[in-house]
Amino acid sequence: MSTKYLFLNAKLADGTVSDIEVSDDRISAIGVGLESSDAERIDCAGLVALPGFVDLHTHLREPGFEQSETVLTGTQAAAMGGYTAVHAMANTSPVADTAGVVEQVAALGREAGYADVYPIGAVTVGLEGKQMAELGAMANSKAQVKVFSDDGKCVHDPVIMRRALEYVKAFDGVIAQHAQEPRLTEGAQMNEGAVSAELGLTGWPSVAEESIIARDVLLAEHVDSRIHVCHLSTAGSVEIVRWAKARGIKVTAEVTPHHLLLTDELVRSYDAVYKVNPPLRTQKDVEALREALIDGTIDIVATDHAPHPIEAKDCEWNAAAFGMLGLETAASIAQEVLIESGRSNWSRLAEVMSINPAKIARDANAGQALEIGNVANIAFIDPSAKRTVVAESASKSVNNPYVGLELPGRVIHTVYRGYLTVRNGELAKAGRN
């Protein structure tokens, strides 16, 4: 079935107002005063049109943990947040450490039809950190994996990390590291500092993250390979990445929405919705992360969307699982940090939410500019909207730390490969089944 839309009077990232014609899966025309007699006309006055968002750090939980999330519900949540591509982390069951599993995840994404699903392959077999996984087989599979990570577990063996960095060079891949020195975080429950001391919870020192990042950027320099640092959370980590980039090391870094907005003061509530890995840090860290996102030291915003069933969160703090939702609210928090603060602009938001993550992952059809001939992946945002976050979600889980907060902006329409997956703020039926 062919589709044709004419989105009228949308504001582009550079501030100009334009019409956008979409035919099938491509942008077929863009300009002022477009006419298209056979297209559905959709008024977008007051909306900002950006390239569809790309998340480099999503947990879709399938296969193995479908009680928390499925590829279908996870990509529906992604669509509601303006995403048209997500990268699914490898910590599933079975672990995504073979060509068979990554092809299964990619196939589930195509079947769901709400976003491109790019599986992330595990660096080590079973995420156990002992034996390198079949990186080449996953890269050469139908899923064409380019990003590898043991997310949730740090690749702490420096020899394995060096070999992995060397291996992925053959196909222009990247290692995405969960920077957590395991010995320094044994039993850790929250950020190490004044609050952890007052609450009597085992602290998670900043140096546990920073020491791994320092080691890894030097390894990446030594073998001239690409390293991507997952979810930076400390001011010290920012300084290491800044130093490495100045030195010419091939390092990129991400920050999560929650590390841009929330602090460890929230742990005083003992509400496990705020339990996350790496932990929420201090206001000083939050300010450093925001500045780094604005000045380009941090390349992207990635959600680390981590759904959990109610029983994994509605329990004592020490027993609760790490992780929180993020796909449906990420754009609002990026707007709060970059736009509402007056410190940056929509072009930078498009870079950190779409263009840069696609470049890091070498996604051929994602993160493209809104230009004639490019794949029609578009997020339309109402920047003037204010919304109080509610627990109801397209995700299968409800561990959302923003419930009750008022956030700016709202995704009104999401166009994925030429089809509306979100229309007027509501989930639409997927068009590419």
Q: Which of 55, 264, 299, 304 is catalytic?
A: 304
How many of the other CB atoms lie within 10 Å of CB of 207?
15
Tell me: cis bond preceding 278? Omega within 30 of 0 counts: yes
Q: What are phi and psi of 77, to 5 degrees?
A: -65, -40
- DSSP run (H or E) holding 287: helix 283-295
C-alpha separations of 216 from 1, 9, 122, 162 in Å: 49, 47, 17, 8
343-367 in b/e burial notation, b at 16+ Cβ within 10 A? ebebebbbbbbbbbbbbbbbbeebb
**Amino acid code (one letter) for 386:** K
**Residues with Cβ within 8 Å of residue 111, at least 6 apart in sequence:** 71, 72, 433
Give CA–CA dist 285/401, Å, rounded. Answer: 19
Q: Confirm if 52 and 15 have CB atoms less than 8 A apart.
A: no
304 is catalytic: yes
Q: What are phi and psi of 177, to 5 degrees?
A: -100, 135
- DSSP run (H or E) holding 49: strand 48-51
**Amino acid code (one letter) for 225:** S
Cross-strand pairs, 427: 422
Give CA–CA dist 290/389, Å, rounded. Answer: 22
Q: State the sign of the Cα–Cα–Cα–Cα dihedral 107, 109, 113, 115.
A: negative
Tokens 């509400």 belong to: 271
Q: Confirm if 26 and 374 have CB atoms less than 8 A apart.
A: yes
- What DSSP string describes 141-167? STT---EE--TTS----HHHHHHHHHH
Give CA–CA dist 173/155, Å, rounded. Answer: 16
Give CA–CA dist 315/331, Å, rounded. Answer: 30
- What amino acid positions are annotated as catalytic residues? 304
